[in-house]
Amino acid sequence: MNPYIEALRPKLSKADYDKLCAISIPKVHEFIAKSADLCNAEHVFICSDSVEDKDYIRQQAIATKEETPLNISGHTIHYDGYYDQGRDRKATKYLVPKRIFLSKALNQIDRQEGLAEVKGVLRDSMTGRTMIARFLSLGPTDSVFTILGLQCTDSWYVAHSEDLLYRSGYKIFSKSGSDTQFLRVLHSAGKLTENMVSAEHDKKCIYIDYMDNTIYSVNTQYAGNSIGFKKLAFRLAIRKANTEGWLAEHMMLMGVHGPNGRKTYFAGAFPSACGKTSTAMLPGETILGDDIAYIREIDSVARAVNVEAGIFGIIKDVNPIDDVSIFKVLHNTGEIIFSNVLVKDGKPYWLGMGSELPKEGINFSGKWYEGKKDEAGNEISVAHKNARYAVTLKALENCDPELENPIGVELKGIMYGGRDIKAYVPVQQSFDWEHGIISYGAALETETTFATIGKEGVPEINMMSIQDFISIPLGKNVRNNLDFGKKLQNPPVVFGVNYFLQDKQGNYLNDPKDKHVWIKWMELRVHGEVDAIKTPTGYIPKYEDLRKLFKQLRDKDYSKEDYIKQFSIRVTENMDKIKRVRQFYKKNVTYTPEAVFWELNQQYERLLNAKEKYGDYISPEEFKE
């Protein structure tokens, strides 16, 4: 007799009991039983991924009012609490054993103290509620990339979202051996208000116990904090990848379509709300993923998969002109969960949707009317900037056909981009893997955005756009990236992109749509079909090539003047950037590979030499020889 299943028995229906017994991994039984006991769940629902079980989850999300149906069939709206509108850095902490120190850049708490605290908050949090157990597969199923996950949650919205965003895993769990490894997440929305949002945001805890591959999340509903397989299990995966010598990255994946039907796969790392999803969705290209990728060396080639199977995308400035394909999806019938937009008469409204917005309705603050203020006297916007939609990737007509390929796709290019208003040119190619990983990846600078709770526009270094998610000394993560390239016969070409460069007056120098030109240029560079100009920070495009691409793609006459403004090397800004990055690594990072300082110093020297020769603001023409 299995004591954990027996302990659970009073909380299980006969069908759920049978579903649980079909899994022969004792750690699964133990985790579910201990979670149900700690949280005092009244019932436990085991989701077997059958059509009936998935329907039941959908229905319950509506019956409990965590979601409300909208006019279009399959569409629902979910709200998160007013103070729960993004990933919460302050409340997210690594549980670290005594005498271990991760990094000054990371939030950590003593493991024993943290466990006691979070378990205290979780105790009895599901009284009178059902706990749902969901089994998922991160990455395609039955593949070398697959990582299994189990989430227990009392939120039907969370369980429903997981259906749209991840691959089902019950079948794999039920045929796996007793010692199968998997990641665990325990989430409770905690006390709910009458609007069905977490009430006690001041008692929010999101704790990562990497010693036990377990995440605890409580008093939050925002998907980035509650859906364990978004950024929470990602943290555990990064740790695993670092131990095993592969890469878990905050990267989109896309197929870029070149001349003569050629398709070339690129990955792109961008911090949240810096253009990652919109790049992956460019019209005419195919989207394989928009948020998290695993990359492995297979036969000396870098191959990548999308960890997820859906999109949890920002719904701001999504309009029928710039975002044709997703705008269409958002208006078609089919399953979509909108969150934190305004709803009026069953129709969702968001910021920048290209039409007039109502003056009243229901939004993330409850009943809303124009001019409504919050407790602090701040005016509440009609929809939240970080409002989102969740949809399966397969709903997009340009979903890449390789999504389920168990060995992934061959990566030919990797790009790193942040919100850098001052220094980096819009696109450049690194001299080699090491230069790219360090100068564009490890040195990635950006500004905070609305995707995390807190002040926007604060400049920071966000290593490879995964700094928040690393639970090992940061220097070791750079080392793992550098070593990964050495295993590859032809490492992917590394590019740096910057969609946010501004002139001195604070005007953006590019239209958001220009990114398509940069992408096509990178594709041509990967195949050696266009030349480039060597500058101190990397290879940049030649004017003639961009002019052609602007004409072809955007029917735009790209002027030399614009080119010079965008691609001039700003020496002082670049040198200042290097100083900040060096300082950051010296102050906050341990185990930094020597190569980091070497590459940064080399770049500094190149800039200094160029400054002596050409001055502070160097037109690309000067480097053209």
Where in the sequence numbering do the catalytic residues fall? 274
Residue closer to ligand SPV by CB (options 230, 476) is: 230
> To the nearest whole angstrom, how small is the minimum distance from the Cβ of residue 449 to ligand SPV?
8
- Between CA 349 and CA 341 the distance in angstroms is 6
- Between CA 248 and CA 137 the distance in angstroms is 15
Helices 474-486 and 233-244, axial angle in degrees (round to 10):
50
Contact positions vs ligand SPV (CB under 6 A): 87, 223-224, 230-231, 272, 291, 312, 451
> To the nearest whole angstrom, how small is the minimum distance from the Cβ of residue 33 to ligand SPV?
29
Contact call for residue 308 and Mn ion (CB under 5 A): no
> To the nearest whole angstrom, how small is the minimum distance from the Cβ of residue 252 to Mn ion?
9
Write the DSSP string, 393-446. GGGSTTB-TTTT-TT-EEEEEEEEE---SSSS-SEEE-SSHHHHIIIIIIT-EE
Pick from Mn ion, ligand SPV, none: which does 476 bind, CB < 5 to 8 A by kind? none
**577: its two tokens:** 């950037």
> To the nearest whole angstrom, how small is the minimum distance from the Cβ of residue 312 to ligand SPV?
5
Contact call for residue 154 and Mn ion (CB under 5 A): no
**304: its two tokens:** 């990548």
227: region left, alpha or beta (phi > 0 left; psi from -120 to 50 alpha): beta
Comparing every residue's Cβ against ligand SPV, the nearest one is: 224
Paired with 207 in beta bridges are 93, 216
Pick from Mn ion, ligand SPV, none: which does 535 bind, CB < 5 to 8 A by kind? none
Residue closer to ligand SPV by CB (options 465, 566) is: 465
**311: its two tokens:** 């999109």
Say which DSSP state 11 is in. G
Contact call for residue 445 and Mn ion (CB under 5 A): no
Residue closer to Mn ion by CB (options 454, 615) is: 454
User: How many residues bind to Mn ion according to rule CB under 5 A?
Assistant: 2
**460: its two tokens:** 């920071």
**205: its two tokens:** 């805890």
Residue closer to ligand SPV by CB (options 368, 389) is: 389
Write the DSSP string, 535-576. ETTEEEE-HHHHHHHHHHHH-----HHHHHHHH-EEHHHHHH
> Which of these ranges, 5-13, 291-299, 351-359, 617-625, lies near Mn ion under the rule CB under 5 A?
291-299
Pick from ligand SPV, Mn ion, none: which does 389 bind, CB < 5 to 8 A by kind? none
Pick from Mn ion, ligand SPV, none: which does 451 bind, CB < 5 to 8 A by kind? ligand SPV
Write the DSSP string, 150-166. EEEES-HHHHHHHHHHS
Write the DSSP string, 496-529. EE-TT-B-TTS-BSS-GGGHHHHHHHHHHHHTT-
Pick from Mn ion, ligand SPV, none: which does 223 bind, CB < 5 to 8 A by kind? ligand SPV
Pick from ligand SPV, Mn ion, none: which does 541 bind, CB < 5 to 8 A by kind? none
Residue closer to ligand SPV by CB (options 289, 538) is: 289
- Between CA 494 and CA 7 the distance in angstroms is 53
> To the nearest whole angstrom, how small is the minimum distance from the Cβ of residue 450 to ligand SPV?
9
As to burial, measured by CB atoms within 10 angstroms (0-12 exposed, 13-18 middle, 19+ buried), residue 144 is: middle
Using CB under 5 A, which residues numbered 261 to 280 contact Mn ion? 272
Residue closer to ligand SPV by CB (options 363, 465) is: 465
Distance of CA 88 to the CA centre of its chain: 14
Residue closer to ligand SPV by CB (options 230, 303) is: 230
> To the nearest whole angstrom, how small is the minimum distance from the Cβ of residue 289 to ligand SPV?
11
Pick from ligand SPV, Mn ion, none: which does 87 bind, CB < 5 to 8 A by kind? ligand SPV
Residue closer to ligand SPV by CB (options 213, 446) is: 446
Of the residues 291, 400, 420, 562, which one makes contact with Mn ion according to CB under 5 A: 291
Comparing every residue's Cβ against Mn ion, the nearest one is: 291
Contact call for residue 66 and Mn ion (CB under 5 A): no
> To the nearest whole angstrom, how small is the minimum distance from the Cβ of residue 223 to ligand SPV?
5
Of 164, 140, 139, which is closest to residue 311 (Cα–Cα)? 164
> To the nearest whole angstrom, how small is the minimum distance from the Cβ of residue 85 to ligand SPV?
10
CA 575 to each of CA 52, 537, 563: distance values in angstroms, whole numbers, following the listed order: 60, 10, 22
Pick from ligand SPV, Mn ion, none: which does 224 bind, CB < 5 to 8 A by kind? ligand SPV
- Between CA 271 and CA 449 the distance in angstroms is 9
Contact residues for Mn ion (CB under 5 A)? 272, 291
